[in-house]
Structure formats: C-alpha cells, structure tokens
Amino acid sequence: MTPNNTSAAAFADTKPHYHLLDGLRGVAALLVICYHIGEDFATNCLTQCVNHGYLAVDFFFMLSGFVIGYAYDDRLNTMGIMAFVKRRVIRLHPMVVIGALLGGLLFYAQGTEYLKVSEVPVVLLTFATLLNLFLVPAWGEVEVRGYGEIFPLNGPTWSLFFEYIANLLYVLAIRKLSTRWLAMLVFATGGALFGYAITNEYGNLGAGWTFGNYGFWGGLLRVMFAFPAGLLLSRVFHKRKVRGAFWWCALIIVAVTVPPRLGGESQMWANGIYEALCVLLVFPLVVWIGASGETTDALSTRICNFLGNISYPIYIVHFPLIYTCFAYAKRNDLPFCQTIPQVLALVFACIALAWVCLKFYDMPVRRWLQKRFV
C-alpha cells in the first residue's frame, strides 16, 4: 500500500468520502520520501532520519483494507470477482508502469563509486524494466542494482506486489470470513508480526523489499496483519466526533516515525517492540480517528484531496529521483548539510512530477481503461 487505495475512483461513488484519510495518506507518503532521503545520507541505522518511516507502508496497507472493506464488502457478490480485479488493476497498475519506466530511464544516471551501473548491459536493464512493468520480482543477475531488491529499478514497488496479494486473498477468501473469524485472523497475524519484529536480526519491520533473510515472509506478515485489520475496522467502525482529527492524526504519524532507533545494536528487540506496537495499536487508532473526523471547510477539503490525490503517484515516482540526486551528491563528495537546497528542490520536484503524472497520465489512462474494460 501502498498509498494507492482511498481515492474516490477506488470505491462506490454513492458512498460518503473519507477526506481526512486521503490527507493522512498524503502525509504518510511525504514521510516515506523523508525516510528514503535520510536513508541515503545516513551512515547506519542509528543515524537515520525519520528512522521508522517505512512503517508508513503498514499504515497504507491498513487504509487499503479499511477503504476496500467499506467500498466492496456489501456489493462484491453482485459485482463479481473479475469486475473487482479489473477495478484494482486499473487503479494500481498505470502508475506501476510509469514508475518502472522512470526507474529504467534514470538508471544510468545513478552510478557512484560503489554502484557500477554503467557495467549493466542495456539488454539486461531492458529485461529488468519489463519485469518491473508486470510486477515480476527480480532474481540473480536481473537484480541490476545489486542490493537484493525484488524491484531494483523502483524499490517501493515491492509494496504493490504485496498489495496485489492482499487484494486477491480478500476477494477469494478473506471477505467471506465472519467478523468474528476475521478478528481471530487479525489477532493471529498480529501475534506473528510481533514475534517477527522482536526476533529478526535487524529488530525492525522493514521487510518485504527483498526476499533475502526471510524478507518475503516479513512482507507477507506486514500486509496480512494490516490489511485484514483495516477490513475489520471498516466492519466495526462507529463514528465518534473528534475535533481537529486530521491534525491529531498527522501529528501521531509524524511522532511515531521520526524518533531515532531504540535499543541500539545490543538490544535489537527493543526497537522491534516499539515498531510492533506502532503497527498493532497506534495505527488502528489513527485510522479510527481519521475516519471519525470531517473537514470543516472547502480549503481543508481541497488540501486533503490534494494530498490524497498525489500520495500514490509521489510514492511511485520519488525513488528514482532520490537515487539520482544521491548519486550526484556522492560523485561530488557533498555531505548532507551542503545538499539541503538540492534536497528541498528534490522534494518539490517529486510533488510536481507526481501531480503531472496524475493529471496527464494516471487519470486519463484510468478513465480510458474504465470505459474500455469495466
């Protein structure tokens, strides 16, 4: 989730829209950008800025489960499985394509002293791009960057891979569970996720982007807790009036992702406990409060809608731009403090590119596909 599921096109047009959840998705997407920028310039996990920023993906998965449950639980029997699958592919895949192409086009501009991208043959890069286009994980020499990423041309695409898995499991099986059995599934996967967080060698939940070190199972656990948890929330949710809900929720998301790593290298489990509690307890509360709140005027509605609309495009397009910017800094031996203007320009460039992709590519393509296939 990915931040890709709560726009109005994803669910029934006749149902009220959760504008605040759109805005929160946008806030989380911006935090992912900050995390990846900090990750590139950090010397290790202890010096990482926005240290827990990857937890935003768990928040995306939970939002996805909540909104899909809200939109489809009561109409899938009449809609049919294939209609649901078409809608999800149309919603998600156009930006997957643009992200893969962008990653391929910028690949050779991302070379550094330790990243020999110039040695990758064009034929191999083309093949890796095709795999990314169809969400096929890379393996062996096809992992052209050499970091073990399953989608080396555009790393964040890994979450779309797991989002597709969750969507398929939802339409084939999970939606058929009663609320009681769904709660038991959430409880079981939550316990497994907690165990994974405190026992894996890194003491965190940053899994899924690689299949190494049991990364596939870590990514699967992340989505198989968060997505059903969001679905469960959609079934048991009752709105409670909360003043300033957007600002409280945005503050909570920032507060849990920004702190430095806990426990240090000698107590990895401490960081795992912290991250597990964020996902298991804090994020469900944020979704509940966000769904309870309402925008109070036209301006706040436009802000939340804007953040929500660009959240998925910005999540998809930012990584190749960050890699290119980081490579430039490394080739010129520039420390982070000397690249602050470039970093700020990078953030605004990501927002601008996301908006352009949304208005002139994603929305027109989705409209055409909906008319043609839905």
Q: Between the CA of residue 94 and those of 67, 88, 269, 365, what are the distances in Å?
A: 20, 11, 39, 7
Q: What is the pLDDT of residue 45?
A: 64
Global pTM?
0.93
For the chain, percent of residues with pLDDT exceeding 70: 94
- Chain centre to alpha carbon of residue 180: 28
Best CA proximity match to 98, nearest among 290, 317, 252: 317
- Decide which of 59 and 374 is more confident: 59
pLDDT per position as a tens digit, 241-297:
888 899 999 999 999 999 988 887 778 899 999 999 999 999 999 999 999 988 777
The reported pLDDT for the residue numbered 6 is: 47
- At residue 9, does pLDDT exceed 70? no
- pLDDT-derived band of residue 8, with 50, 70 and 90 as boundaries? very low
pLDDT at 12: 45
Q: Where are the alpha helices (DSSP H) in the chain?
A: 19-41, 55-72, 76-79, 81-106, 122-133, 158-172, 179-199, 215-236, 245-257, 268-277, 283-292, 298-331, 340-357, 363-373
Q: pLDDT over 90 for what percent of the chain?
A: 68
**What's residue 227's pLDDT?**
98
> How confident is the model over 192-216, as a mean pLDDT?
92
Q: Check pLDDT > 80 for residue 76.
A: yes
Which residue would you say has higher pLDDT here, 7 or 258?
A: 258
- Arithmetic mean of pLDDT over the chain: 90
More confidently predicted of 77 and 282: 282
Paired residues of 149 in beta bridges: 210
Name the CA radius of gyration of the chain, rounded: 20
Confidence (pLDDT) at 47: 66
Confidence at residue 7, expressed as pLDDT on a 0 to 100 scale: 45
- C-alpha of 227 from chain center: 12
The more confident residue out of 108 and 295 is 108
Task: Please provide residue 182's backbone torsions phi and psi, each rounded to the nearest 5 degrees.
Answer: -65, -40
Strand, coil or helix: 323: helix
The dihedral region occupied by 214, where left means phi > 0, alpha psi between -120 and 50, and beta the remainder, is left
Burial of 116 (0-12, 13-18, 19+ CB in 10 A): exposed
Q: Residue 1: its pLDDT value, please?
A: 56
pLDDT band at 374 (very low <50, low <70, confident <90, very high): confident
> What would the mean pLDDT of 164-187 be, rounded to a whole number?
97
Cα four-point dihedral sign 79, 81, 86, 92: positive
20-75 pLDDT tens trace: 999 999 999 999 999 998 887 776 666 677 889 999 999 999 999 999 999 999 88
DSSP string, 288-305: HHHHH----SHHHHHHHH
19/366: higher pLDDT: 366
